[in-house]
Chain A
Amino acid sequence: MKILVIEDEQGLRENITNYLNVDGNVCESCSALNPALQKLAIYDYDCVLLDIGLPDGEGFGVLEYLSTQKKKEAVLIISARNALDDKVRGLNIGADDYLTKPFHLAELKARMMAIYRRKILNTNNKLVFNEIVVDILGRNVEVNETAVILTRKEYDMLMYFIANKGKVISKNAIAEHLWGDEMDMHDSFDFIYTHIKNLRKKLVDAGARDYLTSIYGLGYKFIG
């Protein structure tokens, strides 16, 4: 998967590219609007991560360029602005999703994978992870061709883990993913444990390997 990160904050850009540069992904980055437009003119990407507040103009320019050039990149906006109109505007002119800073890298990856999958849904609507097969349209999960009935939260969690396989994920990130950042974190930590326990049991009972490891004091890791 080819990814372009357009973000002017160096620390953020480096962390994002490092986090995404796994599993054969190729992650490039640039720090301003014009170099981004030049790159997009030459190369095709699967996914573009786009900051709105760029030093030489608003990131909306990228969206306009993509739509006039009829390019098919999936775009995920990452912006410090939560302004409602910004959100609507970005989504209206072709962005696929919108993520407000600050965000967890795991969340970014999960969202990115989700919009990427939506883009390629016509060709492939099955996500295969070893013995686990997820039918993305029907939100059904099978292990070794046996259906596993998951609750909505368990399903969301599984997708989240698969997108971030091999990475340590904090409870905070999981809680924000499942309940949104409106919710006070400490309330949700106990529920995460319950959901994880159930998900793990269902998968293992259906014959899957036990992929989930608990990282004491912090969170979980889904071994890839």
Chain B
Amino acid sequence: MKLADHYTRTGIYITLSVLTAGAVIYFFAINFIAQQQLDRSLQQQLTEAEDYIHTSDQDPQRYDLDRDHAVFVKIGQQNLQKRFFDTTYYNPRERQIEPGRAVEDLVKVKSGNYKVLITISRESQRYFIGVIITITLTLLAGLLFILFITNKYMLNGLWKPFQLTLKEIKEFNIAEANQFKGERSKVDEFTELNEAIREMSLRVTHDYLSMKEFTENASHEMMTPLAVVTTKLDTLIQDETLSAEQLAQITDIYSSINKSSRLNQSLLLLSKLENKAITDKEPIDLQVVLREKLLQFQELLLSKDLSLSSDIKPSHIFASKYLIDILLNNLVSNAIRHNTMGGKIVIALDGDLLSIKNTGADLALNEQLIFDRFQKGKESQGTGLGLTLVKNICQHYGYGIEYKFDYPWHAFSVRL
């Protein structure tokens, strides 16, 4: 849930509960005051009626005022507690029963004791309370609505700088030259946040650049001594007095140099891929490239007596030829290298799916690990970076890569 929603929700909860409690208190207060008002007016009428009865000799039972419902009943009781109470009131004009309020008291005159009961209508009071409640509820609803709208639309605007910052952070790519900008905001906190992020990004970019420079320089610097060793060996082997055994040793040195140079190239390429530093792209007819690749591996296939069946349909992609070459090289050479003598390879290319299946060891490879750096079989002569490169190239272009073992097939599929 968004922060603004949290805000709105809390605001609404608090407003709602305070207003509800307020409304209840308000209702009772109004009710109480209105009742006081009624009782006071009843008391006044009662006093009037008593005064009248005391001053006139008339039979109290004949006392009647048009507007009042005063009833005198002769009773024998000597004492009667004066009391106010809710009752019903018959409205003679409207000819209907309405809620009413009444007072009863004992009046002593010469002719005896009378119980006096005066009733008046509570209708106007009820109407009055109704109006007040309606106004209050309308206000409440209006307030909630305004609160909601304010939070949703106006306060959202307050978060705009934050969202901009967030967007910029998400788009921030360490390998790209564009810096984190973080525009100034009216809100101090956001300005401070942007300031902090900008500083951090500068520091990170700087560290990254020096790291990258170091890696590249180190790799390149390593190539020159390797070149010196190679050319020295090339010169050395011209010496005709060397024994066959010495020459065989030199062959091994050559192989090691070749391996470390390939390792170096692969590491450099990996770091380039991770930094998205390879941007050249061209349209590639994968069908043609794959056919050429298989032709290139012809001898290797023959030497292991492998039978290759391929179903290669047209497929066009837009990528770096160099990277696609490395991708295919690694997948195809793995399928050959990790195969058994006289094994099989099945290669299929159809639209956006390239799958390479080969026979080999009877156990499935650990699909969690095979794409990791330097994960290789004990007997493997490779650099241990082949599949890592494959995975990173796939990631670079958003291709999906998957390994499955379905006895006896080790299958790699690339969704282009």
Chain A: residues with CB nearer than 8 A to chain B?
A: 9, 11-12, 15-16, 18-19, 53, 78, 80-82, 84-85, 88, 100-106, 167-168, 170-173, 176, 179, 181-188, 190-191, 215-219
Q: Write out the residue numbers on chain A whose beta carbons fall within 8 Å of the beta carbon of B235.
A: 15, 18-19, 105
11 further interface pairs, Cβ-Cβ under 8 Å (given A53-B220, A80-B221, A84-B278): A11-B232, A101-B223, A104-B234, A167-B238, A170-B254, A182-B329, A184-B333, A186-B381, A191-B299, A217-B244, A217-B251
Please list the 5 inter-chain residue pairs (A to B) with the smallest Cβ-Cβ separation, ordered nearest first. Answer: A218-B247, A80-B223, A101-B227, A172-B254, A102-B227
Give the distance to chain A from B242, nearest Cβ to Cβ, in Å.
8
Q: Known: A80-B221, A84-B280, A217-B245. Contact between A103 and B258, CB under 8 A? A: no
Q: How far is the CA of A212 from the CA of B412 in the complex (A)?
A: 43
The binding surface of chain B is classed by DSSP as helix
Cβ-defined contact, A171 with B251, below 8 A: yes
Q: How many interface contacts (CB-CB < 8 Å) are there between A and B? A: 119
Q: Write out the residue numbers on chain A whose beta carbons fall within 8 Å of the beta carbon of B233.
A: 170
Cβ-defined contact, A104 with B255, below 8 A: no
Q: Which of B228, B278, B299, B382 contacts A184 (CB 8 A)?
A: B382
B41 interface residue per 8 A CB criterion: no
Q: How far is the CA of A203 from the CA of B33 in the complex (A)?
A: 126
In the complex, which residue of chain B has the Cβ closest to the Cβ of A16?
B231
Q: Write out the residue numbers on chain A whose beta carbons fall within 8 Å of the beta carbon of B261.
A: 102, 181
Cβ-defined contact, B244 with A100, below 8 A: no
Cβ-defined contact, B248 with A218, below 8 A: yes
Chain B: residues with CB nearer than 8 A to chain A?
A: 220-221, 223-224, 226-235, 237-238, 244-245, 247-248, 250-251, 254-255, 257-258, 261-262, 265, 268, 278, 280, 296, 299-300, 303, 320, 322, 326, 329, 333, 337, 381-382
Cβ-defined contact, A81 with B250, below 8 A: no
Cβ-defined contact, A104 with B303, below 8 A: no
In the complex, which residue of chain B has the Cβ closest to the Cβ of A109?
B234
Q: Write out the residue numbers on chain B whose beta carbons fall within 8 Å of the beta carbon of A171.
A: 251
Cβ-defined contact, B227 with A187, below 8 A: no
Q: Write out the residue numbers on chain A whose beta carbons fall within 8 Å of the beta carbon of B299.
A: 188, 191
Cβ-defined contact, B247 with A215, below 8 A: yes
In the complex, which residue of chain A has the Cβ closest to the Cβ of B221?
A80
Give the distance to chain B from A87, nearest Cβ to Cβ, in Å.
9
Give the distance to chain A from B60, nearest Cβ to Cβ, in Å.
119
Q: Write out the residue numbers on chain A whose beta carbons fall within 8 Å of the beta carbon of B381.
A: 184, 186
Cβ-defined contact, B258 with A181, below 8 A: yes
Cβ-defined contact, B226 with A101, below 8 A: yes
Cβ-defined contact, B300 with A187, below 8 A: yes
Q: How far is the CA of A82 from the CA of B270 in the complex (A)?
A: 13
Q: Which of B224, B232, B255 contacts A80 (CB 8 A)?
A: B224
Q: How far is the CA of A170 from the CA of B337 in the complex (A)?
A: 24
CB<8 Å pairs between A and B, sample of 30: A11-B232, A12-B228, A15-B228, A18-B235, A19-B235, A81-B220, A82-B265, A84-B320, A101-B223, A101-B224, A103-B227, A104-B234, A167-B238, A168-B238, A170-B233, A170-B234, A170-B237, A173-B254, A181-B261, A181-B262, A182-B326, A182-B329, A184-B382, A185-B258, A187-B300, A190-B303, A191-B300, A216-B244, A216-B247, A218-B237
Q: How far is the CA of A85 from the CA of B223 in the complex (A)?
A: 18
Q: How far is the CA of A187 from the CA of B230 in the complex (A)?
A: 20
In the complex, which residue of chain A has the Cβ closest to the Cβ of B223?
A80
Q: How far is the CA of A78 from the CA of B257 in the complex (A)?
A: 17
Q: Write out the residue numbers on chain A whose beta carbons fall within 8 Å of the beta carbon of B329.
A: 182
Cβ-defined contact, A12 with B227, below 8 A: yes
Q: Which of B226, B231, B280 contacts A105 (CB 8 A)?
A: B231
Give the distance to chain B from A31, nearest Cβ to Cβ, in Å.
13
Q: Known: A53-B220, A84-B322, A102-B223. Contact between A185 and B255, CB under 8 A? A: yes
Give the distance to chain A from B178, nearest Cβ to Cβ, in Å.
19
Q: Write out the residue numbers on chain B whose beta carbons fall within 8 Å of the beta carbon of A100.
A: 223
Q: How far is the CA of A181 from the CA of B227 in the complex (A)?
A: 14
In the complex, which residue of chain B has the Cβ closest to the Cβ of A167?
B238
Q: Write out the residue numbers on chain A whose beta carbons fall within 8 Å of the beta carbon of B244.
A: 216-218
Cβ-defined contact, B247 with A19, below 8 A: no
Q: Write out the residue numbers on chain A whose beta carbons fall within 8 Å of the beta carbon of B300.
A: 187, 191
